[in-house]
């Protein structure tokens, strides 16, 4: 009997580094940083930024210490201020809203489609003269309908801020996420598919002026290390995390391939019982989460827990219903509210054995009496 079943546990995620080769490569990368001693803005930071920009089809990347900081800095360089509105999805981790809210701008929340991504029709209905940007989130590692969103933003001459925190490596019609917006923001925190060993993020742009401002803003708004042009954060990416990310990137495609095999297995076994997530035509997802939509979701979740299977609800409070945002929140989120009662993220990470995958699928099938 496999360990997972013996211990009666299938964890939702497993962040340990167990692969011997990758572990050694990470330790070697850390040792190199300890040797050169440039703990802040060491050479690995620039190397990582160049590699990231290249992978995402962008000119320039700025490494920062979280996705939330990335979004805040994106808002700052677009000069968002009180009175401005930014339209985003109702369904995301609240970091999406917080980064922008900290600039003083107001979030307006659009509804979602069945694929859990922002609904471009809802975005269209919410545009006003105060709208200064549209911020789609490539939720669960799946690209938004960028074609339609680009048509809308072009018509209204609005910039896109891509929140690609969950979707590094995903593509839409052959183009990588992060290549669509005037600004794209990533998180590489430890839970992400491309993950640092701690917190990390990045902002990607093509415009050298935006790049220059972002670089200053991530270090207290300074140029030449001393002269402060405008108030900023200390949001620099650690050299150690950059060194780690350079190694992680080498294993990324293999990791996504493993997730893909797992999700295909789930699709075969579960598609008749629950609504399974599927890739849209010409799109490639990176499966940050495998989020099904299920009847009797809460009962299913309890049944899985009783059978040692850990699941999550991402994210149980819609952003416009968070205490921080609910007073006077504007937008549309009826469908999001409906789907939120049905959504369940089940384990689908690269460290699962096929026996564990079968066990999860079998337990769900048992629940529905299949
Ligand atoms: C969609 C989305 N946006 C923003 C963030 C914030 O990123 P970070 O946790 O690196 O601040 C996250 C993190 O989980 C996220 O999933």
Does residue 185 have its Cβ closer than 6 Å to ligand 1?
no
Q: How far apart are CA 260 and CA 104, in angstroms?
A: 40
φ, ψ (nearest 5 deg) of residue 7: -80, -10
Residues 6+ apart with CB under 8 A from 323: none
All structural domains of the chain, each given as residue ranges with its CATH number in brackets, are: 20-110+117-246 (3.40.640.10), 252-367 (3.90.1150.10)
For ligand 1, atom 7, the nearest C-alpha belongs to 67
What is the pLDDT, as a whole number, of residue 370?
A: 86
What is the pLDDT, as a whole number, of residue 1?
A: 44
Residues 51-66 pLDDT 10s? 999 999 999 999 999 9
Residues 32-47 pLDDT 10s? 999 999 999 999 999 9
Does residue 141 have its Cβ closer than 6 Å to ligand 1?
no
Sequence-distant contacts of 256-259: CB under 8 A, at least 24 apart: 256/169, 256/193, 256/286, 256/287, 258/350, 259/193, 259/286, 259/287, 259/290, 259/348, 259/349, 259/350
Does residue 106 have its Cβ closer than 6 Å to ligand 1?
no
CA angle 16, 201, 290 (to 5 degrees): 55
Q: How far apart are CA 144 and CA 88, in angstroms?
A: 12
Task: Report DSSP letters for 196-210, one per residue.
Answer: -SS--EEEEES-HHH
How many CA within 13 A on the CB side of residue 264?
6
Ranges in the chain, pLDDT < 70: 1-8
For ligand 1, atom 9, the nearest C-alpha belongs to 67
Going from the Cα of 194 to the center of ligand 1, the distance in angstroms, rounded, reads 13
What is the pLDDT, as a whole number, of residue 164?
A: 98
Q: Name the token pair of 250.
A: 């080498």
Going from the Cα of 367 to the center of ligand 1, the distance in angstroms, rounded, reads 33
pTM for this structure?
0.96
C-alpha distances (whole Å) from 23 to each of 98, 196, 201, 297 are: 34, 13, 22, 38
C-alpha distances (whole Å) from 272 to each of 347, 365, 366 are: 19, 10, 13
The string over 158-196, giving b where at least 16 C-beta atoms fall within 10 Å of a residue's C-beta and e elsewhere, is: bebbbbbbbbbbbbbeebbbbbbbbbbbbbbbeebbbbb
Does residue 165 have its Cβ closer than 6 Å to ligand 1?
yes
Does residue 95 have its Cβ closer than 6 Å to ligand 1?
yes
What is the pLDDT, as a whole number, of residue 7?
A: 59
φ, ψ (nearest 5 deg) of residue 236: -75, 145
Does residue 96 have its Cβ closer than 6 Å to ligand 1?
yes
Residues 216, 229 contacting (CB under 8 angstroms):
yes
Task: Report DSSP letters for 93-127, one per residue.
Answer: -THHHHHHHTTTPEEEEE-B-TTSSB-HHHHHHH-
Reading phi first (left if > 0) and then psi (alpha if -120 to 50, else beta), residue 221 is in: left
3-class SS of residue 132: strand
């Amino acid at each position: 009997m496999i360990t997972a079943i013996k211990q009666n546990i299938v964890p939702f995620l497993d962040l340990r580094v167990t692969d011997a080769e990758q572990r050694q490569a990470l330790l070697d990368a850390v040792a190199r940083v300890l040797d050169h001693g440039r703990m802040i803005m060491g050479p690995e930071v620039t190397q990582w930024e160049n590699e990231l920009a290249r992978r995402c089809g962008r000119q320039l990347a700025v490494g920062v210490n979280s996705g939330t900081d990335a979004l805040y800095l994106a808002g700052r360089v677009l000069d968002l201020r009180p009175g401005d509105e930014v339209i985003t999805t109702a369904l995301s981790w609240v970091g999406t809203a917080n980064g922008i809210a900290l600039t003083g701008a107001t979030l307006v929340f659009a509804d979602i489609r069945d694929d859990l991504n922002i609904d471009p029709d809802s975005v269209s209905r919410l545009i006003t003269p105060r709208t200064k940007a549209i911020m789609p989130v490539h939720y669960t590692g799946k690209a938004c309908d960028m074609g339609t969103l680009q048509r809308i933003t072009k018509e209204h001459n609005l910039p896109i801020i891509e929140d690609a925190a969950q979707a590094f490596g995903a593509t839409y019609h052959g183009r990588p996420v992060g290549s669509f917006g005037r600004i794209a923001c990533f998180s590489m925190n430890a839970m992400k598919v491309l993950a640092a060993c701690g917190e990390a993020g990045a902002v990607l742009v093509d415009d050298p002026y935006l790049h220059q401002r972002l670089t200053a803003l991530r270090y207290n708004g300074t140029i030449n290390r001393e002269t402060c042009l405008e108030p900023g954060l200390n949001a620099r990416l650690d050299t150690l995390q950059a060194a780690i990310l350079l190694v992680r990137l080498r294993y990324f495609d293999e990791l996504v391939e493993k997730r893909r095999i797992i999700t295909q297995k789930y699709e075969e076994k579960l598609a008749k019982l629950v609504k399974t997530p599927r890739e849209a035509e010409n799109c490639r997802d990176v499966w940050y989460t495998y989020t099904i939509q299920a009847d009797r979701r809460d009962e299913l979740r309890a049944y899985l827990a009783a059978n040692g299977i850990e699941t999550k609800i991402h994210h149980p409070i819609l952003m416009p219903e968070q205490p921080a945002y609910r007073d006077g929140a504007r937008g549309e989120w009826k469908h999001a509210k409906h789907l939120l009662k049905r959504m369940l993220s089940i384990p689908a990470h690269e460290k699962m054995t096929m026996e564990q995958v079968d066990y999860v699928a079998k337990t769900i099938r048992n629940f529905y009496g299949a």
